[in-house]
Amino acid sequence: MTIAIIFNEKIIKYDFGEGHPFRGDRFINFMNLFKNLGLHKDPRFTIIKGIDASDEDILLVHDQEYINEVYTLAKYRSFLTPDTPLNMEIIEGAKAIVGSSMLAGKIVMENSKIKIAEGIGGGLHHAAIDRGGGFCIFNDVAICAKMLIKKYGLKKILIIDTDAHAADGTMDIFYDDPKVLLISIHQDPRTLYPGRGFIYEFGIGEGEGYKINIPIPPYAGDECYKIVLEEIFKPIAEEYRPEIIIRNGGSDPHWADQLTNLCLTLKGFRMIGETIKEVSEKVCNGKVVDLCGSGYNPKVLPYAWLSIILGLSGIEIPIEEPLEIPNWVHEKSILKIEETKNVIKEVKNTFKKYWKCFK
């Protein structure tokens, strides 16, 4: 099996400037690590040049008025929101990210030799139909899913979002749509942007019960994530039986991230990849689109992204933590296991009327 790494050099332009936590060099740093380890020569990987999304592609999710607003603000180098400045280069980068995520979906659907495609830079999950923010302009995750529905007629897509921040934009876009099952595992929204992603936000109409938020406590670590994946993700995925899985989220659940308060280690990131690989092989013939873009400690980011990818691939390469793990990480994360189990109980109790696996 070959894993595609989709990389478009234009994504480097997705850079919000000096002093901002989201810089474009993250993408180069990841590719440098990938190449320094010789993985670009490994026959199990193939690097594919990404393409740019068109306005027509972006219209799969976002309305024309919002797109016009974005272009106008970018032209005058203004702000979409206080944390998301715009200029025309950033828009170029955003369209390159969307194009890479869409291409990842197309490759998995059309190339029988490639079951997993990694869209470098993807996961801009805070953008909704008519809004952006949280460093997100266009929601490439949702656009990829909409493209899969429109172009390939898919009726069951599972998006698992493992970013530390809740997938509020993706959730709102598909809030009434049963064709997209969203599972978002994130830090308790009472303690972190965007203040959304509560258990009671579970969809409306035909989409009710298809939006599953799992707000884990600050300092939850590897064991907490493992329990959530075992108790929630696995049984739901096996019951829903999606035609493809889209995972998004970068390094920001890491214990050393500078904007969040979770305690994943590199072993935890690898475990996420391994679990998604295992489940995908059971339910959707191994088809996975993986999107890595976030993370706010540049010393950690490329190693965490790579750990997820190696977990998905099943390739055993030792990756050392770039920073020494302090004692408090283990101590605090252990104390959060019971709290996490209580969250899981509440999720199961809320969703048992929608999913047989929780009855």
Given 62, 125, 126, 165, the catalytic residue: 126
Q: How many CA atoms lie within 13 A of 218 on its CB side?
A: 11
What the block records as the tokens of 41 is: 């020569």
User: Hey, which residues does 85 pair with through a beta bridge?
Assistant: 79
CA 60 – CA 67 distance, rounded (Å): 12
Cβ neighbors of 226 (< 8 A, separation 6 or more) are 268, 271, 275
Q: Which of 197, 308, 322, 213 is nearest to 257 (CA)?
A: 322
Please count the other Cβ atoms lying within 10 Å of the Cβ belonging to residue 156: 16
User: Cα-flanking dihedrals φ and ψ of residue 84, to 5°?
Assistant: -130, 85
The three-state secondary structure class of 295 is coil
Question: Is 246 exposed, middle or buried (CB count within 10 Å of its CB: 0-12, 13-18, 19+)?
Answer: buried
Catalytic status, residue 126? yes
Active site residues: 126
